[in-house]
Structure 1
Amino acid sequence: MMFNKLFSFFTVFLIGSSICFAQNANRLDSLVTVLENNKLPKNEKIQLLIKIAHNHTNTDEGMHYAKQSLQMAIEINDLVLQSQAWEEIGTIEQRLGNKNNALDAIFKALHIYDSLNLKDKQAASYMQIGGHHVGEKEYDPAIIYFQKAEKIYSEIEDDLYLAFVLTNLGEAYRFEGQLENATTSLTKALELNKSLKNDVVEGYALGNLGMVYAAESKFTKAKTFLTKAIAITNRLQGAYPTCVYIAALGSVYEKEGDFLLSESKYTEAFAMAKSAGLKEQIRDFSAVLTGFYEKHSDYKKALKFQKVYQQYQDSLVNRENIQKNEQLKADYEVSKRESEISILNITNANQKRWGIALISGFVILLFLAYLLYRGNREIKKSNQVLSDQKELISKREQEKALLLQELNHRVKNNLQMVSSLLNLQSRELTGHPAREAILSGKYRVEALSLVHRKLYQEGVDTKIPLKDYIQELVLGLFEGYNAEFEPNFSIADINIGIDVAIPLALIINEMVINSLKYAYDGIENPLLKIVIMQETKEDLHLQVIDNGIGFTKNDNEKNNSFGLKLITSLIEQLEGTMERINTKGTHWEMKIKLS
């Protein structure tokens, strides 16, 4: 599942004069040669530019031709050609990893198709919107859009594009974990393609089916289908799907224990993505290679690819893209109602003229109407000023909220980088006395990072869910110390502020690490229980209980250790109290203030 979530992609097909994913170099050269003929009508020239953009192996060059076609289509005011150019721009932006730019182009094309009631074109746009949701890991809405496209293509009996959308739908099902539905859709696509004989459908359907089999641990079938898919997409000069399938094949070899062949496939996929300028794939493959080299203790290479991952991850996240994405969706919904608003304005104007005609002979009534009109106008002006002020305040609040979310994201990334560096350094110090201190520092940094990650996920709220947060923190420590038993939780389902969450996390972090390191030597059935209850609106009752060897006399003499000093300081910071109850094992009981 980890590997499948890293590599999200979707197939985008040009709706118009060309349906091929890529053509060979001779075909592309011939298209460019025809383009140089100045005697071509403008509409034919636009269609030719779109074909060249779609078939070009260099995405930057392809984008240049696509934008040129759009400019010419606007000049001759041809809406269909404009929408086709927008579609191609969206396709190329998606291949480059610029998802918000791609969505911008798709909605512009869809707006035109809606106004012209072109069903087949609407279906194509639904496919692209679904693909965008796949790229954003929003698989439920992606499935809905693909099903809309499937319905239209079934109604108009277009088997070729029905095969395309079935391939996309199968991929969305695969990411959602609905492997049975994925197999059904992809198998239908391959059955349709037996008569169509389309290499694009064949390559993508085989590749996705291979990844389904890999997820089901059917490695022999997975390797067979992925190898066939790579041969087809590589022949079609499709660097995007080819590098993903190569990486998927590397994952299969890794699971089978063939690490040399697995490393070869991972690095081949990374090199291909970098050569083609595929930002998201460069980021995803570098993350896989980081984990791969960490497993094999090659920390120099692991750190190298970790830096590449961080560089591309940060470049793909920014506040402007989030705002633009939401604005595009709003603009599309508003534009569909523009014609209705225009009709209402005309009706209102007619009613106003009739009113003036009826009172034109009555001077007194006209005078009163004038007074009412002036009063109404002043009220409108006042309301408008108030509305503008409210809108300005709302925008500023949104901007502050987005800046806070972005700040949490940046802090989380920086803390994760520090944790990764401490982890790498600790592995270099195996057997050295400083290793334990570095590991302790790493877990404290991870506790802080988890707070900011929760805040980033929860959006603009400054509170985080206590239960999920503590469980994720403790389970992470159990995994880090390779504990062979599960902790027991009894935690109140409440939200707490960051000022309480951070010191509380550090307290639990210190206590759990102390138990995992020292408490269970010779204990047959180890137990660790964490109980957090809210006694009042202002008080929180915390207990950390283990059945370990307990505190010896020597341990009691170590009460001045850094960990205990840190816990004591944090308890004081929270205006709380702490007590160690004498039982078998260790039983800490604390009360802290929530505000």
Structure 2
Amino acid sequence: MRHLFSYRRKYCFFYIFFYATLSFSQNFEKADSLLKILESNNLSKKEQVLTLRNVAFYHPNLNIALNSAKQSFKIAQEIKESLLQAEALEEISHIEHRLGNNGLSLQASLTALQIYESLNMLERQAASYSQLANNYMNGKNYDLAIRYLKKAKYIYSNSNNSQNYALTNLNLGEAYRLAQHLDSAATAFQQTLKLNKTLKNDIIQGYSQGNLAMVYTTQNKLSLARQNLNDAINILSPLKDYYSNSVYLAELGKVYNKEGKYKAAENKFLEALSMAKQAGLKEQIRDFSALLTSFYESQKQYPLALEYQKSYQVYQDSLVNKENIQKIEQLKAGYEIDKRESEIGLLNTINTNQKFWVITLAVGASLLLLFAYFLYRGNKRIKVANTMLSSQKIIITKREQEKTLLLKELNHRIKNNLQMISSLLNLQSHELKGHPAKEAIVAGKYRVEALSLVHKKLYQEDLDTRVVLREYVEELVLGLFYGYNASFKPDFKMDDINVSLDTAVPLALVINEIIVNALKYAYKNVDNPKLKIIMSQDNNYLDIQIIDNGIGFNTNEAEKNNSFGIKLIYSLIEQLEGVIKKPDSKHGTHWKMHVKLT
């Protein structure tokens, strides 16, 4: 099985004032002592605000921390202390971010920034810029993150706060790294290390060397990467920073793997996975499981590869389900907001009309009163009807959005199941070396992968049941060329055409059969192999041509040999209400198909 996996460390983003220097045991002890102080009931309102905010900062339970931060903000509002409100909002933003609620975190940061701007507190504005950058990095909007970090860096460059300046520069380097601006990232990390020679901060030193090492790994500067990773791990290990240490251990394993030190690489991957499990880091468990799957597959240890593939799938499904639940909850919240806005709008309309009729009653006669009464009744009926239509429209919109999410989830599950079947077929084929059944199993595996790719496209794109044919065919064909180690590249000439799932599935199998047949048999003793795929739309029909310059192909002989592939091609073209021209030729093969679009 070809397992496509790109490992990348998540954002080690630093909260400017506090979060970079504390251990878990210290946090719990301080939070416990602060809670006991709160129970004394002898604190003023301002003291309660400060104590609750510190509880939120130190407490390891994020739900308790968030509740404390919100209480702190509420009391700060009661006593009308703007600065304390902004500081509580900062704390809320940090905690919501750690809980994965990026939208709520962004909202809290923006509100805090507005308060600091009104108070003309530049360094606090810089801290808010940094947190906003963190939110945008979490949403993979690296350009905005870089813009806000540059604003923060400019403010700190004109202040005496060297530590915050160094931390912001470190964060800027990480934003550059994630945006793949590797030279800028390396420069930022090196500048931070130079600044830290004066600060002598272990956290800054460890993260700077670790993240710089990740840049070096990408640039294949393996010796520098290995040296910096070992230094970072040695610095951060006593601080019990399981998240960063596990990431750096896995990165060190990648370096060893590139250097051909496979046993050392395996040990580091396993050590990183064990640390992630110990700390309950689900995303890292998923990523390290995928890393081990790819590693064991490259080492031809297929049972171990399958074991970690199953582990990856379990955690991937868990995280995807979590994301979908959050999206559905956001839709429900949006539905409630829309409903409230409709009710408010209706009440405002009624209020305006009532004022109009009061004036009319004051100056009108009895006949006008009677006329107004009938008009009021008719207007009321119209409003009731409009209200019902508005509510029904909102409900329909909500259901359509939920249906789209569920459809994407269904395609995701089908894709995962097909990938698991492909993995099992691949592993089985390795057990049948020299056996006549191996070729049939390999052919079946590629057919399953063609179907899996259809559902992958449906899951990734914002379309309900349609596939962009050009992108799909390119990925399918290039995957087959890679699987058969082809020494040349195919030539594509295809229009942008969307097809339905009912068309995409049989068409995927037809193209798979033709390309596999060409790669296996067509290019024996051919010096300059070529393959061209042409697709165009003719009204409601799709014209497909697949041309190679191979040794030729006779369909009559294939039919006499009872070829399953040929039978499958003709059967599927018939299912698509199309026609196909037989490719009888001694100088290459030219398939022509004309199928109906749906």
Q: Which TM-score applies when normalising by structure 2?
A: 0.84
Helix, strand or coil for the counterpart of 1:587? strand
Q: What is the distance in 2 between the residues matched to 1:321 and 1:70?
A: 22
User: Unaligned 5+ residue runs, structure 2?
Assistant: none
Aligned 8 A contact 1:50 1:65 in 2: no
Q: What is the distance in 2 between the residues matched to 1:538 and 1:525?
A: 36
Q: What is the distance in 2 between the residues matched to 1:366 and 1:235?
A: 87
What is the CA-CA distance between 1:430 and the residue it aligns to? 2.4
Matched, 1:398 2:401: yes
Which residue of the partner structure matches residue 62 of structure 1?
61
Larger mean Cα displacement after TM superposition, 349-358 or 381-390: 349-358
Matched, 1:567 2:569: yes
Q: 1:456 to 1:552 in 2, by over 3 A?
A: closer
Q: What is the distance in 1 between the residues matched to 2:364 and 2:95?
A: 67
Which residue of the partner structure matches residue 201 of structure 1?
204
What is the CA-CA distance between 1:486 and the residue it aligns to? 0.9
Residues 86-101 of structure 1 mapped to structure 2, 5 A cutoff: 88=91, 91=94, 98-99=99-100, 101=101
Aligned 8 A contact 1:82 1:109 in 2: no
Letter in structure 1 aligned against 2:169:
L
Aligned 8 A contact 2:250 2:272 in 1: yes
Matched, 1:172 2:180: no
Larger mean Cα displacement after TM superposition, 133-142 or 558-567: 133-142
For residue 264 of structure 2, the aligned residue among 261, 270, 291 is 261
Q: What is the distance in 2 between the residues matched to 1:589 and 1:394?
A: 43
Q: 1:107 to 1:391 in 2, by over 3 A?
A: same
Larger mean Cα displacement after TM superposition, 225-234 or 20-29: 20-29
Letter in structure 1 aligned against 2:391:
D
Q: What is the distance in 1 between the residues matched to 2:88 and 2:459?
A: 37
Q: What is the distance in 2 between the residues matched to 1:542 and 1:395?
A: 40
Q: Deviations over 1:539-580 (max 9, x none)?
A: 222222222222369944545211111111101101112221
* Identical residues among aligned pairs (%): 47
Q: What is the distance in 2 between the residues matched to 1:200 and 1:165?
A: 13
Which residue of the partner structure matches residue 13 of structure 1?
15
The number of residue pairs the alignment matches comes to: 578
Which residue of the partner structure matches residue 321 of structure 1?
326
For residue 483 of structure 1, the aligned residue among 483, 486, 498 is 486
User: Unaligned 5+ residue runs, structure 1?
Assistant: none
Q: What is the distance in 2 between the residues matched to 1:34 and 1:498?
A: 59
Q: 1:356 to 1:450 in 2, by over 3 A?
A: same
Residues 421-500 of structure 1 mapped to structure 2, 5 A cutoff: 421-500=424-503
Letter in structure 2 aligned against 1:322:
K
Aligned 8 A contact 2:207 2:232 in 1: yes
Matched, 1:276 2:279: yes
Larger mean Cα displacement after TM superposition, 348-357 or 206-215: 348-357
Q: What is the distance in 2 between the residues matched to 1:85 and 1:197?
A: 30
What is the CA-CA distance between 1:47 and the residue it aligns to? 4.7
Q: 1:212 to 1:364 in 2, by over 3 A?
A: farther
Q: What is the distance in 1 between the residues matched to 2:61 and 2:211?
A: 26
Which residue of the partner structure matches residue 310 of structure 2?
307
Q: What is the distance in 1 between the residues matched to 2:36 and 2:555?
A: 91
Q: 1:471 to 1:26 in 2, by over 3 A?
A: closer
Aligned 8 A contact 1:67 1:89 in 2: yes
Q: What is the distance in 2 between the residues matched to 1:390 and 1:26?
A: 53
Q: What is the distance in 2 between the residues matched to 1:150 and 1:330?
A: 40
Aligned 8 A contact 2:544 2:593 in 1: yes
Higher RCO (CA < 8 A, seq sep 6+): 1
Q: 1:451 to 1:350 in 2, by over 3 A?
A: closer
Residues 77-226 of structure 1 mapped to structure 2, 5 A cutoff: 77=76, 88=91, 91=94, 98-99=99-100, 101-108=101-108, 110-111=110-111, 114=114, 117=118, 123-147=126-150, 149-150=152-153, 153=156, 158-226=161-229
Q: Deviations over 1:177-231 (max 9, x none)?
A: 1112222333343344344433333322222111111111111221222222222
Letter in structure 1 aligned against 2:439:
E
Q: What is the distance in 2 between the residues matched to 1:184 and 1:476?
A: 37
Q: Deviations over 1:292-317 (max 9, x none)?
A: 00000111211111111101111111
For residue 413 of structure 1, the aligned residue among 412, 416, 421 is 416
Helix, strand or coil for the counterpart of 1:551? coil
For residue 550 of structure 2, the aligned residue among 534, 542, 548 is 548
Aligned 8 A contact 1:89 1:102 in 2: no
What is the CA-CA distance between 1:147 and the residue it aligns to? 4.2
Which residue of the partner structure matches residue 523 of structure 1?
526
Residues 311-390 of structure 1 mapped to structure 2, 5 A cutoff: 311-318=314-321, 319-324=324-329, 360=362, 367=369, 376-390=379-393
Q: 1:479 to 1:43 in 2, by over 3 A?
A: farther
For residue 233 of structure 2, the aligned residue among 220, 230, 233 is 230
Q: 1:352 to 1:556 in 2, by over 3 A?
A: closer
Q: What is the distance in 2 between the residues matched to 1:447 and 1:3?
A: 18
Q: 1:398 to 1:71 in 2, by over 3 A?
A: closer
Q: What is the distance in 2 between the residues matched to 1:581 and 1:479?
A: 27
Q: What is the distance in 2 between the residues matched to 1:113 and 1:365?
A: 60
Helix, strand or coil for the counterpart of 2:10? coil
Larger mean Cα displacement after TM superposition, 246-255 or 472-481: 246-255
Larger mean Cα displacement after TM superposition, 462-471 or 318-327: 318-327
Aligned 8 A contact 1:31 1:48 in 2: no
